[in-house]
């Protein structure tokens, strides 16, 4: 092993300078692309967040379900609400209620957890969000196709995580 | 003249003194990461409004 030279600070080599410039340009490009793609890219969903207790949120969703329930599917209430605010909860190990939305109408989908972190993955559309207890996450969305959509929990939440699948219905 | 003697005469450039200061880098790395991640994160969390 050799000790470094006493004065190792030397004028920068041409190749090192090129390396630093290329890396800097690429970093700046990536930095600009982050907000730019958020504005220009079409897959960025408008989101608001509010602080809420699990008990408050449970009561809000229960009141919403009681007002707009039209059916039950496998023990889960099916709710058909007019365009505007609609509510869902995630709790080990199910999503409730099942929302029946209308294609082309704009909804403010509220989602929160009553226990632990869950994921919300709308399939096959592949919209993905994190569901956090203590925070009401409001997603503004307009269904563009009708049918049955699966909601998969994609954040490990316990032993039943792998069977935590919900449903969303969109009518014409 | 022996190259080793020339090295001994040269003053240490300021850039080298800065880069060789390992404790400065240790403090900077912790301070910057705490500010940019923890402090910024806490400020973001405190700014979340209560549900209407």
Q: Which helix (H) or strand (E) holds A64?
A: helix A54-68
B34 within a domain of the structure (yes/no): yes
pLDDT digits (tens, 9 = 90+) for A100-121: 999 999 999 999 999 999 999 9
Q: Test B52 with A50 for CB contact under 8 angstroms.
A: yes
pTM of the model: 0.80
* Residues spanned by the domain of B24: 19-46
Question: Can you tell me which residue has the tokens 């409004």?
Answer: B49
Structural domains of chain B, count: 1
Among A128, A70, A129, A127, smallest CA distance to A102 is for: A70
pLDDT greater at residue A22 or residue B1: A22
Nearest CB to A51 within list B12, B15, B49: B49
Q: What SS3 string covers B1-52?
A: CCHHHHHHHCCCCHHHHHHCCHHHHHHHHHHHHHHHHHHHHHHHHHCCCECC
Beta bridge partners of A49: A137
pLDDT digits (tens, 9 = 90+) for A29-80: 999 999 898 888 876 777 899 999 999 999 999 999 999 999 999 999 999 9
A6: nearest CA in chain B?
B7
Set out the domains of chain A in order of their start, with CATH numbers. 47-171 (2.60.40.420)
Do A57 and A71 meet the contact criterion of CB atoms below 8 Å apart? no
Residues of chain A with Cβ-Cβ distance to B7 below 8 Å are 5-7
Structure confidence at residue A111 (pLDDT)? 96
B6 within a domain of the structure (yes/no): no
Among B50, B43, B46, B52, smallest CA distance to A51 is for: B50
B27 within a domain of the structure (yes/no): yes
Q: What is the DSSP letter of A124?
A: T
Residues of chain B with Cβ-Cβ distance to A49 below 8 Å are 48
B2 within a domain of the structure (yes/no): no
Q: The tokens of B38 are what?
A: 């923890």
ipTM exceeding 0.85, yes/no: no
B13 within a domain of the structure (yes/no): no
């Amino acid at each position: 092993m050799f000790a470094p030279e006493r004065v190792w600070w030397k004028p920068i080599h041409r190749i090192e300078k090129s390396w630093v410039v290329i890396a800097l340009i690429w970093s700046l490009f990536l930095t600009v692309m982050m907000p730019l793609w958020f504005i220009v890219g079409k897959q960025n969903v408008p989101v608001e967040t509010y602080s809420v207790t699990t008990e408050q949120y449970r009561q809000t969703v229960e009141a919403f379900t009681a007002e707009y329930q039209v059916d039950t599917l496998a023990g889960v209430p099916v709710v058909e609400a007019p365009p505007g605010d609609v509510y869902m909860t995630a709790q080990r190990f199910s999503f409730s209620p099942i929302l029946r939305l209308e294609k082309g109408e704009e909804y403010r989908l509220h989602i929160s957890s009553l226990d632990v972190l869950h994921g919300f993955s709308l399939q096959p559309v592949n919209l993905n969000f994190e569901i956090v207890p203590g925070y009401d996450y409001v997603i503004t969305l307009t269904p563009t196709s009708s049918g049955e959509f699966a909601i998969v929990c994609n954040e490990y939440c316990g032993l039943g995580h792998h069977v935590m699948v919900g449903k969303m219905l969109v009518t014409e | 003249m022996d190259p080793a003697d020339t090295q001994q005469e040269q003053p240490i450039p300021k850039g080298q003194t800065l880069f060789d200061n390992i404790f400065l880098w240790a403090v900077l790395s912790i301070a910057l990461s705490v500010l940019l991640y923890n402090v910024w994160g806490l400020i973001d969390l405190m700014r979340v409004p209560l549900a209407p």
